[in-house]
Amino acid sequence: MTESVAMAGTRDACFEFRGATQTLTVLELRYFDMEMFEKNLRDKIRQAPNFFRDLPLVIGLDQYEGNLADLDFFQLIGCCRTHSIQVLGVRGGDEDVRRLARNASLAWLPAGRAGHPLPDPSESETAEATTEASADSDAAPGAGKVVTQPVRSGQQVYAPEGDLIIMAPVGAGAEVLAAGHIHIYGPLRGRALAGVHGDSNASIFCQSLEAELVSVAGHYKISEDLQDNGWRQPARVRLNGDALVVDPLGR
């Protein structure tokens, strides 16, 4: 018996499965034309390059208008990987789509079972950074979360229930998420995603809107879309129908 086998026999199992909540971007595909797809993708990436780097992506087919059997997942994957976007799976479609996804080594999710449809997973978040951001927070089940320290680049803070209240700035490259409202008593320079479980009544409040991205219930705007209204001012971001709007505060 080798030493490694003997040691393995005296240890616990070398892995375990755990449930986790992760934010995933869903690319809702309406039709697929390779040339147009790459052009549209380049345009999006040009607006916010860091936003899309190493982005984990799910292809959503709920709105697809063509023949799903003709969809070439290998072309899709290749185009996305060329731009450092990682396609993890496919949502929606029938058994034929499930077979095509499996052949392309993609996970398959039934319609409506992807992660939160958000366009911006953070870059290279570390466990140490996340722990540091969360260590100064007070949370009770169902009561949301209060964070008293700045949320720095690379950190993610998540309130899976209720509101998220941050008594400090949110730096560029940081990400904050909440099932309910997000209140930031300082500048918002990173990404804020409220209503991540689909609550369309959620809002984002901040003392200075300088965000890389804001999202409510999956509807989002990036910084270029925000600078014409409320930029670097106290603001509330909310949904009005299917449109994300910015209201000034304190006026």
Q: How far apart are CA 210 and CA 208, in angstroms?
A: 6
Residue 202: helix, strand or coil by DSSP? Answer: coil
Sign of CA dihedral 165, 125, 42, 112: negative
Please state the separation of Cα 70 from the chain's center in Å. 29
Structural domain includes residue 112: yes
Question: What's the average model confidence in pLDDT over 97-105?
Answer: 90
Task: Enter the tokens of residue 238.
Answer: 């909310």
DSSP states of 3-31:
HHHHHHHTS--S--------EEEEEE-S-
Angle between helices 95-103 and 73-82 (to 10 degrees): 50
Distance separating the N- and C-terminal Cα atoms of the chain: 77
Residues 99 and 151 grouped into a single domain:
no
Average pLDDT over residues 171-199: 92
* 150 contacts 134 by C-beta, under 8 angstroms: no
Beta bridge partners of 222: 213
**Residue matched to tokens 């993610």:** 156
Last residue of a domain, one of 68, 89, 117: 117
- The answer to whether residue 8 is domain-embedded is no
**Of the candidates 83, 117, 151, which is a domain's last residue?**
117
Same domain, 132 and 183: yes
Instruction: Classify 77 as helix, strand or coil.
Output: helix
Query: What integer is the mean pLDDT of 185-207?
Result: 93
Give the chain's mean pLDDT.
81
Is the same domain home to 182 and 155? yes
Q: Is residue 14 part of a domain?
A: no
pLDDT confidence of residue 12: 78
pLDDT per residue over 212-248, tens digit each?
889 998 888 888 888 888 899 999 999 998 889 999 9
> Is the same domain home to 147 and 66?
no
Same structural domain, 203 and 236 = yes
Residue 18 lies in a domain: no
Q: 221 with 214: CB under 8 angstroms? A: yes
Does a structural domain hold residue 159?
yes
Identify the domain containing residue 36 by its residue range. 23-117
Instruction: Please state, in angstroms and rounded to a whole number, the distance separating the CA atoms of residues 230 and 246.
Output: 7
Domain CATH code at residue 217 = 2.160.20.70
| Backbone φ and ψ of 42, nearest 5° | -60, -40
Residues 77 and 150 reside in one and the same domain: no
Could you tell me if residue 1 is inside a domain? no
- From CA 247, how far away is CA 244, in angstroms rounded? 10
Count each helix (H run) and each strand (E run) in the chain, helices first: 7, 17
Last residue of a domain, one of 89, 117, 145: 117
Which of 42-46, 154-158, 206-210 is the least confident region? 42-46
Name residue 246's amino acid.
Answer: V
Q: How many other β-carbons are positioned within 10 Å of the β-carbon of residue 63?
A: 10
| Number of domains, the chain | 2
Same domain, 91 and 153: no
For residue 79, give the nearest of 52, 50, 51 by alpha carbon: 52
Same domain, 158 and 51: no
Res 9: pLDDT: 59
User: Do the domain assignments include residue 15?
Assistant: no
